């Protein structure tokens, strides 16, 4: 399950102790009371004392406890009389108490509560506490309460009997069909949500579904004393949830009030109730299809403010001297949250700015309203194609807060028509600007160097055929390990052109999927007028980049990615904005005060290195703008999270310029820390998790700020991952400054493991887009340089010395980085196969050519070039991770880093990685330590012929471990309890060994289970590559 902080945990990890589990559900007997404990009612008297709970609430508390047993999987066990609110006068153990305390009136007329002090044995220590309770007649359950409880008990049993989905018999059915969507960051304390989906038995996949009536069942048990509303879990059959038929005739009035709000797609659960909702099978007469759009509507409930913001001080002692900083930061955050709640209702409502500002349309009347916050403007009017750019035709009026507004008749502005506003500045100048909240913005494609115009986007009013009719693919579930493919849509074409969203979805997404990635991180999606900025000089944050297509076409890309099981992250730029006033947001700066501006004033509002403007994060309207932007991308485009760019610039007043961070905590928590920006990021984290509990937040921070990826409630900033930005620097510095025979093993290991492992998660990467830009070099270029143009033809050999070295190290570097560097992995588009060209965007200096602004995927497809072997290795690595989950496994141990041998041995999860970085030494009969006794065998080998290696590793051999005594004791080897002696460890190779399962009949010559999974993935990839080669040949022939 996911805990409140979004961390995936097993029960024993959560409770910090070993928990016992049964092999099958039917071996578990579930109960909440028995003869040798207090009765359920007596227990509730202790837990729900008078003065805090009414008799009715105490009765309903009994119902909730009973429902946990009645609706759980396993065998339900009920103590006689629980259905009658039976009491034994608070007796702790009535085994020897006689009939006076054990009597049970099945009519419910007479309760044993208050019949006397229970026997001395196990009760005398609490006698003084019991006396006032047993004398309190208001605690005695009445006959009516007993009758209502019996009726509720029978109702629960009837519901359990109504469907085999409540009370599954097989463990695999539990794993496949049962989920708890109420967990994670958006959980409500005191509420349990269980979803059970129908399907054939796990033991017989070809059989009929277990249940004939319901496609799924959702159980909600709420101990809260108020009504709650929960988002309906996403359906896989597109049906509307309904209240269980037996609830509709319940004798409990509150139960009958439970419902499904179809308009908001929420479950309505009364106070202190256990409610079962069902989705009828599509073949049922009660089945009702739901609006597909409802599946993608996020919940709108804020995460509560919990904790004191000081939890980090107990987990990181180095933060203790800065307690005052954390207290101040927490106060600013909580005060701002309260202000937002008082003025806007909630944080999530506050982030709905796009529903009031910019262009909005009244769904009932069709009237169009345009609003713009611009306090310094002396006058404003809306201009565009719709009024022939007449400045006086559509004047706007100003409110007391500086928001200008105008309302137009229905269809007054045609879909896709150009719009701007005309404003009179304080100095009397007249300017035309693109609206801040514009949803699409384009230049005049017929004019070179033309400025951008806002485009009124309302496809619903158009009669044109739309490429996108609505999201249909469910969002993929969150993987244990993120394997991210960083991509730029515009430069993703094989041809020298700007690629489109639809072409990317058709041609590039299948490549990403077959390579084994489970997430794409899309760069340059937010509109930016300067193509060469790689998308980081944003001009219109709410608009998708028009170079690659329309908003609808981008939605189609996202939907197709989800259909393939790929998460979609947006490269989000909230750290700065383009200095371009003609085309974007900077045009709103008329030299006004910060309180009336999006930006800070003076030098504080300008980034010298980036030549861009900096937001004023303490400004209320700026917070609304930026937080609404987050919600816009999640809600309008159904994205799964963000990679926040330039976080270091936000965290500090000096923006990280000319700073060399040493790890001294005074560099992180001082007067140089921009608390306003930090608090904005805390708000952003909480908002995103409120809207989408499983959304991903990745921070690009070079400083190493402690707590960046710690939950807000514990004093952190709330990101899920940080980028391991030092790792690309490590590899580039090694390649530039030292021969590989002089590389230090300790140096590599220390840099790879230099992170707050177990506290903050990291995305590792060997290189990203930064190393691909013209003027820099990718790892492949540093390794092979000009020989990439002459030596990559495949003649069946290992190639020249430079090519063999380059390909070997290219594979090893990726294996080490993924294996040691973090809890997730990232790769920039094309680098997985050693792309031979740099990235050079069209510009005046290259005659506006796109020759180097593309990705030559055809090189990796070719059967005549060596690039395909690098790509196969990438596919194999991802298949290894997919089948074992090693990148997110908490077990990571480096057992050997031998400087002379140039050998690194490390364990990640159940795998043993053996890396030999020596340029020429093969080691025979080489001993390596292993975590556990057992049998080990190769599952992945970079020196294999499949990757155009020399084939020196013995693949058929099964290695039996030898004992090494007590770890750390006399004569022990590398502090491990066992070891294996490898036949050979080839020079410049990475070999991965898998521990065979006990009882697994492994024969010589057979692949291990993991090796089989890798082989299957590689074969599927090669089959797809062959299809692409055949298609390319047919096209060329035509």
Give the catalytic positions in this structure.
645, 700
Contact 573, 536 (CB under 8 A): yes
Residue 190 falls in which region: left (phi positive, over 0), alpha (psi -120 to 50) or beta: left
Q: What is d(CA 346, CA 348) in angstroms, rounded to the nearest whole number? A: 5
Helices of type H across 636-754: 647-651, 675-691, 726-737, 745-752
Distances (CA, A) of 827 to 690, 784, 817, 824: 29, 19, 11, 11
Q: Indicate the pairing of strand 441-443 with strand 452-455.
A: antiparallel
Asked if 417 and 388 touch (Cβ cutoff 8 Å), the reply is: no
* Angle, in degrees to the nearest 10, between helices 1009-1037 and 867-884: 140
Helix (H), strand (E) counts: the chain: 25, 41
Q: Taking Cα atoms as reference points, which of 303, 155, 247 lies closest to residue 689?
A: 303
CA separation for the pair 40, 78 (Å, rounded) = 10
Cα–Cα distance measured from residue 1032 to residue 1038, given in angstroms and rounded to the nearest whole number: 10
Enclosing H/E stretch for 297: none
Eight-class DSSP state of 388:
T
Beta-carbon neighbour count of residue 622 at 10 Å? 21
Contacts of 544 (CB under 8 A, 6+ apart): 440, 501, 525, 526, 527, 550, 551, 554, 637
Sequence-distant (6+) residues with CB within 8 A of 911 are: 880, 884, 886, 939, 992, 993, 994, 995
Q: Rounded distance, CA 34 to CA 27, Å? A: 18
Q: Say how far apart CA 924 and CA 908 lie, in whole Å.
A: 24
Burial pattern 242-267, b for ≥16 Cβ within 10 A else e, equals: bbbebbeebebebbebbbbeeeebbb
What is the residue-wise DSSP string for 85-117? T---TT-S--TTS-HHHH---TTSS---TTS-P
Whole-angstrom CA distances from 590 to 391, 430, 442, 601, 610 are 19, 11, 23, 11, 21
Look at phi and psi of residue 692 and say left if phi exceeds 0, alpha if psi is from -120 to 50, else beta. beta
**Residue 396: closest CA among 435, 370, 361, 426:** 370
Whole-Å CA distances, 744 to 594, 740, 741, 773, 802: 51, 9, 9, 28, 21
Give φ, ψ of 182 to 5 degrees: -85, 5
For 413, the 3-state DSSP assignment is coil
45's CB contacts (< 8 A; 6+ apart) are 58, 90, 113, 133, 139
Give the chain's end-to-end CA distance (angstroms, integer): 55
């Amino acid at each position: 399950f996911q805990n409140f902080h979004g961390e995936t945990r097993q029960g024993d990890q959560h409770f910090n102790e070993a928990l016992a589990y049964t092999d099958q559900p039917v071996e578990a007997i579930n109960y909440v009371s028995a003869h040798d404990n207090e009765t359920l009612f007596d227990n509730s008297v202790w837990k729900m004392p008078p003065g805090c709970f009414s008799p009715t609430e105490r009765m309903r508390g009994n119902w909730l406890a009973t429902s946990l047993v009645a609706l759980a999987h396993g065998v339900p066990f009920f103590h006689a009389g629980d259905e009658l609110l039976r009491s034994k006068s608070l007796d702790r153990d009535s085994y020897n108490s006689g009939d006076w305390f054990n009597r049970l009136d099945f009519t419910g007329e007479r309760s044993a509560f208050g019949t006397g002090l229970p026997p001395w044995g196990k009760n005398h220590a609490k006698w003084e506490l019991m006396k006032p309770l047993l004398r309190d007649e208001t605690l005695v359950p009445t006959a009516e309460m007993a009758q209502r409880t019996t009726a509720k008990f029978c109702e629960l049993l009837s519901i359990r009997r109504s469907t085999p989905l409540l009370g599954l018999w097989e463990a695999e059915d539990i794993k496949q069909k049962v989920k708890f969507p109420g967990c994670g960051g958006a959980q409500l304390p005191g509420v349990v949500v269980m979803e059970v989906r129908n399907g054939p038995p796990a033991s017989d996949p070809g059989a009929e579904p277990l249940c004939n009536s319901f496609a799924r069942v959702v159980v909600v048990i709420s101990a809260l004393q108020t009504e709650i509303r929960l988002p309906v879990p996403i359906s896989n059959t597109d049906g509307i949830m309904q209240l269980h038929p037996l609830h509709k005739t319940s004798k409990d009035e509150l139960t009958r009030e439970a419902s499904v709000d179809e308009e908001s797609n929420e479950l309505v659960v009364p106070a202190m109730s256990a409610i079962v909702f069902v989705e009828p099978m599509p073949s049922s007469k009660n089945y009702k299809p739901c609006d597909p759009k409802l599946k993608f509507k996020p919940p709108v409930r804020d995460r509560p403010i919990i904790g004191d913001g000081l939890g980090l001080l107990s987990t990181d002692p180095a933060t203790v001297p800065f307690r005052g900083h954390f207290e101040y930061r927490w106060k600013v955050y909580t005060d701002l949250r309260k202000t937002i709640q008082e003025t806007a209702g909630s944080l999530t409502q506050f982030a709905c700015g796009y529903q009031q500002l910019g262009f909005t349309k009244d769904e009932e009347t069709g009237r169009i309203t345009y609003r713009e916050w611009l306090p310094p403007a002396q006058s404003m009017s809306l201009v565009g194609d719709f009024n022939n750019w007449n400045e006086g035709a559509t004047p706007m009026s100003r409110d007391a807060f500086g928001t200008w507004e105008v309302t137009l008749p229905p269809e007054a502005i045609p879909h896709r028509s150009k719009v701007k506003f005309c404003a009179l500045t304080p100095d009397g100048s007249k300017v035309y600007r693109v609206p801040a909240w514009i949803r699409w913005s384009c230049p005049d494609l017929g004019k070179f160097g033309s400025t951008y115009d806002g485009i009124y986007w309302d496809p619903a009013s158009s009669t044109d055929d739309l490429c996108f009719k609505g999201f249909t693919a469910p969002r993929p579930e969150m993987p244990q390990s993120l394997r991210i493919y960083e991509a730029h849509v515009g430069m993703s074409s094989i041809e020298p052109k700007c690629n489109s969203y639809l072409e990317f979805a058709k041609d590039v997404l299948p490549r990403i999927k077959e390579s084994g990635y489970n997430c794409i991180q899309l760069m340059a999606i937010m509109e930016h007028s300067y193509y060469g900025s790689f998308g980081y000089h944003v001009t219109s944050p709410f608009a998708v980049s028009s170079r690659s297509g329309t908003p609808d076409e981008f939605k189609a890309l996202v939907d197709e990615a989800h259909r393939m099981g790929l998460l979609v992250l947006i490269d989000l730029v909230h750290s700065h904005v383009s200095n371009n006033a003609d085309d974007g947001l900077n045009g709103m700066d008329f030299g006004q005060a910060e309180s009336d501006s999006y930006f800070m004033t003076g030098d504080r509002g300008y980034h010298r290195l980036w030549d861009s403007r900096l937001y004023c994060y303490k400004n209320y309207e700026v917070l609304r703008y930026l937080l609404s932007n987050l919600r816009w991308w999640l809600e309008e485009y159904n994205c799964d999270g963000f990679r926040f760019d330039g976080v270091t610039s936000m965290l500090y007043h000096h923006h990280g310029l000319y700073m060399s961070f040493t790890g001294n905590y005074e560099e992180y928590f001082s007067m140089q820390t921009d608390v306003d920006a930090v608090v904005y990021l805390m708000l952003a984290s909480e908002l995103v998790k409120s809207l989408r509990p499983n959304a991903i937040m990745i921070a690009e921070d070079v400083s190493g700020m402690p707590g960046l990826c710690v939950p807000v409630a514990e004093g952190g900033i709330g990101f899920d991952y940080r980028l391991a930005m030092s790792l690309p620097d490590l590899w580039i510095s090694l390649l530039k400054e030292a021969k590989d025979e002089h590389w230090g093993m300790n140096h590599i290991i220390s840099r790879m493991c230099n992170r707050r492992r177990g506290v903050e998660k990291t995305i590792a990467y060997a290189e990203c887009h930064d190393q691909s830009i013209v003027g820099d070099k990718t790892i492949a270029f540093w390794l092979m340089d000009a020989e990439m143009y002459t030596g990559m033809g495949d003649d069946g050999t290992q190639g020249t010395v430079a090519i063999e070295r380059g390909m070997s190290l290219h594979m090893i570097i990726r294996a080490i980085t993924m294996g040691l560097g973090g809890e997730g992995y990232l790769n920039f588009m094309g680098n997985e196969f050693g792309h031979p060209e740099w990235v050079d965007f069209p510009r005046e200096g290259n005659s506006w050519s796109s020759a180097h602004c593309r990705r030559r995927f055809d090189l990796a497809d070719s059967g005549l070039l060596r690039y395909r072997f690098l790509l196969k290795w990438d596919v194999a690595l991802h298949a290894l991770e997919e089948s074992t989950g090693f990148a997110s496994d908490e077990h990571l141990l480096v057992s050997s880093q031998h400087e002379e041998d140039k050998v690194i041995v490390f364990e990640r999860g159940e795998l043993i990685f053996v890396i030999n970085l020596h340029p020429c030494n093969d080691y025979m009969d080489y001993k390596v330590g292993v975590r556990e006794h057992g049998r080990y065998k190769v599952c992945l080998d970079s020196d294999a012929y499949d990757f155009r290696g020399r084939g020196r590793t013995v693949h058929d051999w099964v290695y039996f471990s030898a004992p090494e005594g007590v770890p750390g004791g006399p004569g022990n080897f590398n502090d491990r309890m066992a070891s294996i002696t490898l036949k050979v460890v080839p020079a410049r190779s990475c070999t991965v060994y898998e521990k065979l399962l006990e009882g697994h009949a492994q024969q010589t010559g057979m692949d291990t289970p993991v090796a089989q999974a890798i082989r299957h993935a590689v074969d599927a990839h090669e089959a797809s590559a062959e299809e692409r080669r055949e298609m390319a040949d047919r096209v060329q022939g035509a």
